[in-house]
Structure 1
Amino acid sequence: MKNIKNAALAATTLAALSGNAFAADYSDDIHKNDYQWSQFNLMYAVDEKPQNPASGNKHNYLELEFGGRSGVVDLYGYVDVFNLTSDHGSDSDKSGDASKMFMKLAPRFSLDGMTGKDLSFGPVQEVYVATLFNWGGGSANANFGDGDVNNAFFGLGSDVMVPWLGKVGMNLYGLYEINNKDWNGYQFSMNWFKPVVNFDNGSFISYQGYIDYQFGLEDRSDSFASTVSNGGAMYNGIYWHSERYSVGYGLKVYNNIYGVKNQTGSLNLESSGFGHYFAATYKF
Structure 2
Amino acid sequence: MKFFYILIILTVIILAPSSLKAEDFIEWQTTNIQLLRGHDYQLGDKYRTITTLEHANKWRYGDFYGFIDLTLPETDKSTYYTELSPRLSLSRVLNKDLSFGPVKDILIATTFEKAKNFGPQYLYGLGFDLDIPTFTFATLNFYIHENTQKPDTTWQTTFAWKKPLNLFEENFVIEGFADFQGREGASQANQLIVPRFLWNASDTFNIKENKLFIGIEYQYWHNKFGVDGVTESVPQLQMKLVF
Partner of 1:265: none
Q: Kindly name which structure, 1 or 2, has the bigger radius of gyration based on alpha carbons.
A: 1
State the distance in 1 between where 2:57 and 2:29 align.
4
- Are the structure 2 counterparts of residues 103 and 218 from structure 1 closer, same or farther at C-alpha, using a change threshold of 3 Å? closer
TM-score by length of 2: 0.79
For 1:41-190, list aligned pairs within 5 A.
41-48=34-41, 51-52=42-43, 55-83=44-72, 88-89=74-75, 95-96=76-77, 100-138=79-117, 148=118, 150-162=120-132, 165=135, 167-180=137-150, 182-190=151-159
CA contact (8 A) 2:191 2:221 kept: yes
Q: Counterpart of 1:218?
A: 184
The more displaced of 113-122 and 249-258 is 249-258
The one-character-per-residue Cα deviations of 1:83-133 (angstroms, maximum 9, x if unpaired) are 2xxx522xxxxx14xx62111111111011111111111110011000011
Mapped partners of 2:159, 2:143: distance in 1: 12
One-letter identity of the residue aligned with 1:75: F
Closer, same or farther in 2 for the Cα pair 1:158/1:251, shift >3 Å?
Answer: same
Q: Displacement, 1:171?
A: 0.1
Say if 2:99 and 2:105, in contact at 8 Å, map to a contact too: yes
Instruction: Check whether the contact 2:45–2:74 (CA below 8 A) recurs between aligned residues.
Output: no
Whether contact under 8 Å (2:111, 2:123) holds in the other structure is yes
8 Å CA contact 1:61, 1:80 repeated in 2: yes
Q: Distance in 1 between matches of 2:88 and 2:106?
A: 8
Asked which structure has the greater RCO (Cα within 8 Å, sep 6+), the reply is 1
- Aligned-residue sequence identity (percent) comes to 23
**Tell me, which stretches of 5 or more residues in structure 2 are unaligned?**
1-19, 203-209
Inter-partner Cα distance in structure 2 for 1:165 and 1:120: 17
Match of 1:192 in 2: 161
Could you tell me which residue of structure 1 aligns to residue 223 of structure 2? 256
Residue in structure 2 matching 1:234, options 193, 196, 200: 193
SS across alignment from 1:162: coil
Give the residue type in structure 2 aligned to 1:173.
Y
Q: Distance in 2 between matches of 1:185 and 1:76?
A: 22
Following the alignment from structure 2 to structure 1, what is the Cα–Cα distance between the partners of residues 236 and 225? 19
- The 8 Å contact of residues 224 and 232 in structure 2, kept in 1 or not, is answered as no
Correspondence for 1:37 among 18, 30, 39: 30
Aligned residue number for residue 15 of structure 1? none
Structure 1: gaps (5+ residues): 1-28, 90-94, 139-147, 221-226, 263-270
Whole-angstrom CA distance in 2 between matches of 1:204 and 1:282: 16
In 2, are the aligned partners of 1:127 and 1:156 still within 8 Å (CA)? yes
- Rounded to whole Å, the distance in 2 between the matches of 1:199 and 1:74 is 34
RMSD (CA atoms):
2.4
| Cα distance in 2 between the residues matched to 1:281 and 1:177 | 31
Alpha carbons 1:78, 1:105 under 8 Å: kept: yes
Partner of 1:18: none
Tell me, yes or no, if the aligned pair for 1:205 and 1:240 is still in contact at 8 Å.
yes
